[in-house]
Amino acid sequence: MPVILSGSFFGFANLLIFNLFIRLKKRTRKKLAVKKKVIKSDGRKQPFNESKILNSLKMAGTSSALAKKTTEKLNKITVDGTATDTIYKDALKDLRKYEPRSALKYSLKRAIMDMGPDGYTFEKYVARIFNSRGYETEHGRMVTGRCVKHELDVIAKKDDRVYIIECKYHNDRGTKSNIKTALYVHSRYLDIREEFCDEGKDIMEVWLVTNTKVTADVKQYAGCVGMNVLAWKYPGAKNLQYYIENNLLYPISILPGLSGSHKDLLYDNDVITVKDIDFLGQKGLMELTGISTKKAIRIFKELELLIH
């Protein structure tokens, strides 16, 4: 506490000392806030960023009032060295309590990473995204290129044009698709381009689609060679989240009521999105998975928050 001088003669001095104390206190708090760092899933440290959390909550459709309240709460309980996974779970807990729909949407990125140990289901999921945009798609086709054979992830066709879509799936948080992936995708495109020309069709576009962010090198290279990239938060407007949310193509892994084994069973039967479960209906879901009526009702309540 500051020392307060006695006597009316020193009133002005008291005020100056008190104001100086308040300024020093604010400056100290600011320094402490800057020094507070959190640990990412890959072990790297980064400054705790309130605005980043606030924006991510709002992007999930959280009301401004709850987003602000949750962010302020997280700032208070987060200490130096807190894992970002812990922060995520604390935020999710608040959303589930007050705004369940926002909680589901907030978990979208992790839900995609939970689509399986490999990229096979993600490839089929990407095909669904392009189907929703009016493309006919084919998955896993073998094509003989100029030099070698290739198994293509997705081939999309629209208006007698062919689009090669290569998918890069990651299930490790903190991973980014890097320049090696972009070079690989473009080299495959160059090798098979003539194959489609021989069929009388031109490959107008090549796509790299990934469920993670991409590095700056990928963006620069793709822009240079004319390769399209669809990734997490890239491009800025019509990115992966945009096409998922705009067409309500949420993966079934976003539904907490489904167990891992039930998800695997549904994937094996080409039930990939929540729309597919909605098409099955409650009875069809129970028959396919063997889950109880009580559990099926819960799953459809979760589903309705997203697509109805």
Confidence check: pLDDT of 245 > 50: yes
Per DSSP bridges, beta strands 45-47 and 37-39 are antiparallel
Mean pLDDT value of segment 84-98: 95
Among 19-33, 63-77, 130-144, 207-221, the least confident range: 19-33
* Extended strands (E) in 66-222: 82-83, 136-144, 149-158, 161-168, 176-177, 203-210, 213-214
Among 171-175, 211-215, 216-220, the least confident range: 171-175
| Residue 125: band (very low, low, confident or very high) from pLDDT cuts 50, 70, 90 | very high
DSSP 41: T
Confidence check: pLDDT of 33 > 90: no
Percent of residues, the chain, with pLDDT higher than 90:
76
Check residue 5 and give its pLDDT.
47
Check residue 260 and give its pLDDT.
93
Among 7-16, 71-80, 86-95, the least confident range: 7-16
Q: Where are the domains of the chain?
A: 8-110
DSSP 32: H
Q: Are 152 and 158 in contact (CB under 8 A)?
A: no
Q: Which two tokens stand for residue 261?
A: 């084994």
Percent of residues, the chain, with pLDDT higher than 70:
87
Across the beta sheet with 149-158, what order do the strands follow? 136-144, 149-158, 161-168, 203-210, 228-230
Confidence check: pLDDT of 61 > 70: yes
Which of 159 and 128 is assigned the larger pLDDT?
A: 128
Confidence check: pLDDT of 9 > 70: no
Among 40-44, 126-130, 183-187, 267-271, the least confident range: 40-44
Mean pLDDT value of segment 129-140: 95
179/181 Cα distance (integer angstroms)? 5
Confidence check: pLDDT of 213 > 50: yes
Going by C-alpha positions, the residue among 130, 117, 107 that lies closest to residue 263 is 117
Q: What is the mean pLDDT of the chain?
A: 89
Check residue 4 and give its pLDDT.
47
Q: Are 272 and 286 in contact (CB under 8 A)?
A: no
Q: Are 196 and 203 in contact (CB under 8 A)?
A: yes
Confidence check: pLDDT of 254 > 60: yes
| Residue 299: band (very low, low, confident or very high) from pLDDT cuts 50, 70, 90 | very high
Confidence check: pLDDT of 228 > 60: yes
